[in-house]
Amino acid sequence: MIIQRLDELAAQIDIPLEILQRKTLNSDFKLKVPMHFAQQIEKGNLDDPLLRQILPSIEEAQTAVGFSQDPVGDLKANPTESLLHKYEGRALLITSPQCDIHCRYCFRRHFPYEQAKKRHWQQALELLATDSSIHEIILSGGDPLTLSEAGLIDLLHQLEQIPHLETLRIHSRTPVVAPNRANMKNWLAVLNASRFNKVLVVHCNHPNELSDETHQTFQLYRDVGVTLLNQCVLLKGVNDSAGTLKRLSKKLFSQGVLPYYCHLLDRVEGAAHFEVDTTPTWQIFETLRKELPGYLVPKLVREIAGEPYKTPIYENADT
């Protein structure tokens, strides 16, 4: 079940509708949250970090200098509909315009997904086939795991026909927010038989997002030879403390997932209220480096439009 109405959310989290209404605005980027994720929200807690990620807040109406509709330059790196080619050796295929959840800080909340709805896969696949410098294909969106099982299998078979592709990387929030949707038996069997090196990068920002169901889903992917990594976004009021990120890294690892990236907020219009100031960020990561083994400390990065890689952020860097 997907919650798309404020009254449904209010009933689920035991907060009076009139209180939620005072906190929200009517947005073109609509409320959308799977029941599994909603069940992880603490009932009665208006400041719950999971609720903050999905509630269309009146703070989204604030304007801020430096925030735009295309903060990472996706549209300029768009050689054809559905294909992004920003980094050496890698290309990203927008496989679906849909997500199972609408995260309020999403850097693609203004992306023209009507292009991807046309599914110009054939043109994208032809471009991939002619560029032997591309060795890794990244399935993104939206969320690729919102495709039908048959659609995913068909796409994988087509990608396997391109001989210079070696690695399949899937970026998905579905295994975290709606884990049962990711448990597609035939899809997992095809993944198991695939010649590709296989990587699943999930997106989890807070330890409370993880559950027995996420653990079971991660294990299914590990069982078919998929390497599991996590990326999170540093978000004010959600995970902007060393304690929270420490618990997140340890819980991810207990479920078979390695922390990979912690992104500074992409400066997309409507999300300025999530940005964490520089000084607290340094303090958080200094504490993490002291209290966690290196393999549990995610790399702090920012994506800068036009740069050929994710930019590592260090204390003496100008952010």
Distance from the first to the final alpha carbon of the chain: 40
pTM for the whole thing?
Answer: 0.92
**Tens digit of each residue's pLDDT, the chain (319 residues):** 899 999 999 999 999 999 999 999 888 889 999 999 999 999 999 999 999 999 999 999 888 888 877 666 655 545 567 888 878 899 999 898 889 999 999 987 655 545 544 456 788 899 999 999 999 999 998 899 999 999 999 999 999 999 999 999 999 999 999 999 999 999 999 999 999 999 999 999 999 999 999 999 999 999 999 999 999 999 999 999 999 999 999 999 999 999 999 999 988 988 999 999 999 999 999 999 999 999 999 999 987 766 656 788 876 544 4
Q: Compute the distance between CA of residue 186 and CA of residue 147 in angstroms, rounded to an integer.
A: 13
Q: Is the peptide bond before 270 cis (omega within 30 degrees of 0)?
A: no
Instruction: Please give the annotated binding residues for [4Fe-4S] cluster, written as ranges.
Output: 99, 103, 106
Three-state secondary structure call for residue 231:
strand
Q: What is the DSSP letter of 24?
A: B
Q: Going from the N-terminus, what domains does the chain have, and what CATH number goes with each?
A: 2-61 (no CATH), 75-312 (3.20.20.70)
Strand order of the β-sheet with 136-141 is 83-87, 90-96, 136-141, 167-172, 197-203, 226-233, 258-263, 299-302, 311-312
Buried residues in 5-15 as b, exposed as e (16+ CB within 10 A): ebebbbebbeb
State residue 319's pLDDT score. Answer: 43
Q: Compute the distance between CA of residue 255 and CA of residue 174 in angstroms, rounded to an integer.
A: 16
Structure tokens at 217: 């889903």
Buried residues in 78-89 as b, exposed as e (16+ CB within 10 A): beebbbbbbbee
Long-range contacts of 303-306 (CB under 8 A, 24+ apart): 303/72, 303/107, 303/263, 303/266, 304/72, 305/70, 305/71, 305/72, 305/73, 305/76, 306/73, 306/76
Q: Compute the distance between CA of residue 289 and CA of residue 308 in angstroms, rounded to an integer.
A: 27
DSSP 256-316: T-EEEEEEPPP-BTT-GGGPPPHHHHHHHHHHHHHHS-GGGSPEEEE--TT-SS-EE--TT
Instruction: Please give the annotated binding residues, written as ranges.
Output: 99, 103, 106
State residue 107's pLDDT score. Answer: 80
State residue 113's pLDDT score. Answer: 47
